[in-house]
Structure 1
Amino acid sequence: MFPTEILLTIFKIVYMQNREEVMDEREFYFSSSSLVPEIVGKYKCIWRRDEELRYPCLFPYNIASVCAKWRATAASVPAFWTRVVFFLDSGPEGSSLVDLQHQLQWSRDLPLEITLGRMNLGDNFMYDMGEAARVRSAMELLLPHISRWHMFYISTIRSSSLPVILKELRGTSPILKILRLECEGDDADDDLNVYGRDVFICPALHNFDIDGANFLRLRNAYGGEWVTQLVPQLEYLSVSVLSPAEEEEGNGGEGETDGERVSGAEEKEGINRPEKGRLNLDMFLGEVAKLTSLRQLILKSIIFNDILLLGIHEIHHFSPTLDTLVLEDLSVSALLSILFDCNYPGLTTLKLARCPLDAMPEGFLPDIPCLVLQDLAPTVNVMEIVDRWHGMGLEIVGCPTFDDTVLKRLSVPGVGVSIEELAIIDCTNFSVSVLQKMVESRLPWAWPMQILKVTGEGPAMTDDERAWFGNHVAEFSYEVVLADPERLT
């Protein structure tokens, strides 16, 4: 058995292997130099962001489970316990509340990075009806330490399992920088008012990922002033998963104005959404425009209400600092309003995922340098979209209509002339030979292909082909999983 001093030295080395240096001071909240000065000096670091938290040998839980001495030795160093990982599953896969209480004690007064999620993501996890109760039990232990939260992330099956903001999520957290409340589906009550609400103050927050139900609770409590009162310095905002309210008699029918709607020919084409949405898009975009530091906006799986497209679009909202816009699982009317009725002069990246782009009019894409298309339906013609876009960086993810036809089109002079970067992820309907011909045909152009990356599922590549791409593309990588999962290239 190693002496305690040697064990501590080994544990500290392993601890530093689980951390990474940061250059952005907003991510840095305490130095490790006081913890292991003989190893790191004045090293500024955080817990690694790329680590799989479901890994059974996750530090420090792995060493604490070996024996009583190792557990006691690890418990003597508070910094080891500042990453809190708690699994909400029922049965043996779920985490222990007793262990959570110990970890909060062992971390003493140091800042915490907290993650509440699920170990099991199999077919049966959707039927776990005890999730909400386990969330409440964990929150009872965590909330008294809210002043120490640096990051809080929770992911649940249902929105009703998430802690209710201003009620179960309350208090003052002066160092909280990242707050993420995520769920798979919305089953919240239609009444989203917070009665007898408490305060929730987090002046340092710059990354806010919130479910639709909790977002509506904020708006109902603060009105349009949620921006200035709660998150004036916000740089990243994601609002996701908000289903329509229960349809009431007289609402959402033909001629009504509660649901997402369009007028004229577009209404005849069936774009009208008769559901009663719970978030007014125009008001929301106006409030977002007040976030003078906002750089990234994500909207996902939301049914908006009162969207009226008259055919003549006017700029209603101006977001000068926004550089990244991500739109996922939105309707045609919402897409049109977001893309046509707002001005984003600094926008550099637009991501469109699982959106009905085949129903969009010509010219719907703004002039942006980088475009990401993900999980588009087989009815969406990627070639037509690329043909009308004039940017530099293109990323295609899981799109079945990205095939040799698209690559051949990109080989034609004058088509996609400014594309210098191409990333292909999980696309299987193209061939390496046509990809090579596309790159070769563009070599004499003013903007030849500079960066080409292919990952995920895809066709096989020979060593000769790999060597050719390596010689003709400045930055090239090809790491794909073949149809046979046992073969990797």
Structure 2
Amino acid sequence: MHHYSESHVQHAAMITSESIAEETKTTIHSLPSELVSSIFKYTYMKSRVELRRRSYIDSNNNDINFKTTWKQEDLLEPSLFPRAITSTCRRWKAIAECHPIFWTRIIAFVDSTPTPLSEVLLYLTLSKDLPIHVYVLRRPDTYLDQGLDEHQRCRDVIELLRPHIRRCQKISFDVIYSSSLPSISQDFFGSASFLETLNLKCRTDDGRAPGASGCRPEIDNDPFLTPALKELVVDGRNFSHACLMIPAWIESLKGHEFQLQVHTFTPSQSIPRDLAFTLRDFVNVLDQLRVNRLSLYVEFHNVPPSTPTPDFILPADSYMLDNLSSWFLTEIMEILANDYVDSIYISRCPVGAVDFEFSAHYLTLDTIDGSEEVSAFLDCWNGAELKVVDCPSFDDNALEALGGNSSFQSMETRNCWNFSPEAVKEMVKTLNESVARNIAGGGYHDRDGFALSHLTIEGHKRPLTIEEKRWFRGNVWSYGHSKWTTSDEVTSLVG
């Protein structure tokens, strides 16, 4: 019988425990592929968000790709899914490639360091037949470059994308030149029944038509349709050419509401279709659609009609008008004047050209040139809520004009300082007197004797005196949220 000392026993136990630990040692690289897949799916879901509304494509489908959509994330982030896991090791990449849902967000950079076409093709292949989100863009610091090769890089991506248009759920281009964009009328074909967002953005109209040259018979035989579209952002040339060449596309838009932004277009004399689509044609198209939000940063060819323009009522509730010419702004505002609209946002436009009455519950003026007579424009407006930002010609005369607006209830200004507190007081006094008369006549049961429920002045150069603060507290609706700020002071007008 062998006798072992205590030290021998401890040494043997230590050796045994180390051997067992070595044999049972587990790292993430030794995990079963099924478990790694589950971890990847969990990571994938971290980049997804549940659909807040029923998607056009999710009927009776329990796949998570149909119940969720990609989050709005920084597309440059190195950890963006599946970029991080596929660059770790070959095994992880091979496991990820077995899951088509991981490859449904396709990102192609087209600046001086372009995404390899082989990578774009890999994503298109691995995503099988699932709905995809496609982003074609430049890195943020490259939009001031000349972008000499941008057009060809975009064309290469577009050619890879064309056979997959039917399964695109989102297509987003953000480039420098308008000719780098895909052409709706010459590049897209077939029923894109999944497509909900089509964003074709550019910074410059380079006067060239987008799209490939030559005839594409598949487009004539199978026109582009977007029956599920919810958001359309498109340059004016693309939109006008598509309206002229694909009437079936316009028909496919009629059955549902969507947001429309038309931008960056000046008709070119060298492109016949630019001149064939006029402002009146544009309004005729809008009259057929259910656009709930319309944004315009564009020009259309203006041909005086041979017959009087009918009294169109555009379908949208909200309008954004940015950097329009005098005649175009006037034409659009004349159409809007035919109805009471919910909201109008106007930026960098010659508002002084508008000399007729119009109505909008919300009106925003942003960055209006100091040479424009804002007071005359506001004298034409009938509405309740006004926001004015960076408008040097918003002055005492403008406040006097607002005093005559019996519907006026809310004013917010930011970085406007060419008006005086005295003029604001006079406006409030005039409005309150109007409310008092209406209450005496049996109207305005919700005003409590005060016209304004909200008064916010931000970035004014002159602070209020104690007496002025007291006056405003007694003459602005006490339940409103109101303030007057300068660069170094914040004053609440409501106690």
TM-score scaled to structure 2, two decimals? Answer: 0.70
In structure 1, what residue type is equivalent to 2:233? D
Identity of aligned residues (%): 25
Tell me by how many angstroms 1:422 deviates: 5.0
Structure 1 residues 356-395: aligned runs within 5 Å: 356-358=350-352, 360-364=353-357, 366-386=358-378, 388-395=380-387
On the 8 A contact 2:311/2:338 being kept in 1, the answer is no
Q: Distance in 2 between matches of 1:480 and 1:134?
A: 49
Tell me by how many angstroms 1:66 deviates: 4.0
SS at 2:203 equivalent: strand
Distance 1:64 1:315, change over 3 A: same
Aligned pair partner of 1:201 in 218, 225, 240: 225
Aligned pair partner of 2:53 in 24, 27, 47: 24
On the 8 A contact 1:211/1:240 being kept in 2, the answer is yes
Tell me by how many angstroms 1:414 deviates: 3.8
Q: Distance in 1 between matches of 2:40 and 2:483?
A: 36
On the 8 A contact 1:31/1:44 being kept in 2, the answer is no
* 175-184 or 301-310: bigger deviation: 301-310
Aligned pair partner of 2:286 in 266, 278, 288: 288
Q: Which residue of 2 aligns with 1:106?
A: 126
Q: Which residue of 1 aligns with 2:236?
A: 212
Q: Which residue of 1 aligns with 2:137?
A: 117
* 296-305 or 17-26: bigger deviation: 17-26
Distance 1:247 1:229, change over 3 A: same
In structure 2, what residue type is equivalent to 1:179? L
Structure 1 residues 84-483: aligned runs within 5 Å: 84-91=106-113, 94-122=114-142, 124-125=144-145, 127-189=146-208, 195-196=215-216, 198=219, 199-222=223-246, 227-228=250-251, 232-233=255-256, 235-246=258-269, 279-291=277-289, 293-307=290-304, 315-319=310-314, 321-341=315-335, 345=339, 347-358=341-352, 360-364=353-357, 366-386=358-378, 388-402=380-394, 409=399, 414=403, 418-421=407-410, 427-430=414-417, 446-450=450-454
Q: Distance in 2 between matches of 1:422 and 1:29?
A: 44
In structure 2, what residue type is equivalent to 1:81? W
Q: Distance in 2 between matches of 1:413 and 1:190?
A: 45
Q: Distance in 1 between matches of 2:196 and 2:47?
A: 20
Q: Distance in 1 between matches of 2:155 and 2:143?
A: 24
On the 8 A contact 1:153/1:180 being kept in 2, the answer is yes
On the 8 A contact 2:369/2:392 being kept in 1, the answer is yes
Q: Which residue of 2 aligns with 1:60?
A: 82
In structure 2, what residue type is equivalent to 1:233? H
Q: Distance in 2 between matches of 1:278 and 1:479?
A: 51
Q: Distance in 2 between matches of 1:458 and 1:45?
A: 46
Q: Which has the higher helix share?
A: 2
Q: Distance in 2 between matches of 1:413 and 1:206?
A: 37
* 414-423 or 76-85: bigger deviation: 414-423
Tell me by how many angstroms 1:180 deviates: 2.0
On the 8 A contact 2:179/2:210 being kept in 1, the answer is no
On the 8 A contact 1:281/1:307 being kept in 2, the answer is no
For 1:83-110, what per-residue CA distance to the aligned partner results, in whole angstroms no more than 9, with x for missing partners?
222211122xx32322222222332322
In structure 1, what residue type is equivalent to 2:53? D
Q: Which residue of 2 aligns with 1:267?
A: none
On the 8 A contact 1:155/1:183 being kept in 2, the answer is yes
On the 8 A contact 2:225/2:249 being kept in 1, the answer is no
Distance 1:305 1:10, change over 3 A: same
On the 8 A contact 2:354/2:377 being kept in 1, the answer is no
On the 8 A contact 2:313/2:335 being kept in 1, the answer is no
Q: Distance in 2 between matches of 1:379 and 1:475?
A: 32
Tell me by how many angstroms 1:154 deviates: 1.1
Q: Distance in 2 between matches of 1:166 and 1:361?
A: 35
In structure 1, what residue type is equivalent to 2:69? I
Distance 1:120 1:458, change over 3 A: farther
Count of paired positions: 429
Structure 1 residues not aligned, in runs of 5+: 37-42, 249-257, 259-275, 462-467, 483-489
Distance 1:57 1:384, change over 3 A: farther
Tell me by how many angstroms 1:114 deviates: 1.5
Q: Distance in 2 between matches of 1:473 and 1:194?
A: 65
SS at 1:335 equivalent: helix
Tell me by how many angstroms 1:376 deviates: 1.8
Q: Distance in 1 between matches of 2:240 and 2:287?
A: 17
Distance 1:11 1:450, change over 3 A: farther
SS at 1:171 equivalent: coil
On the 8 A contact 1:278/1:305 being kept in 2, the answer is no
On the 8 A contact 2:390/2:416 being kept in 1, the answer is no
Q: Distance in 2 between matches of 1:415 and 1:13?
A: 60
On the 8 A contact 1:244/1:278 being kept in 2, the answer is no
Q: Which residue of 2 aligns with 1:39?
A: none
Tell me by how many angstroms 1:416 deviates: 5.8
Q: Distance in 1 between matches of 2:485 and 2:163?
A: 46
TM-score scaled to structure 1, two decimals? Answer: 0.71
On the 8 A contact 1:216/1:279 being kept in 2, the answer is yes
Q: Distance in 2 between matches of 1:79 and 1:191?
A: 32
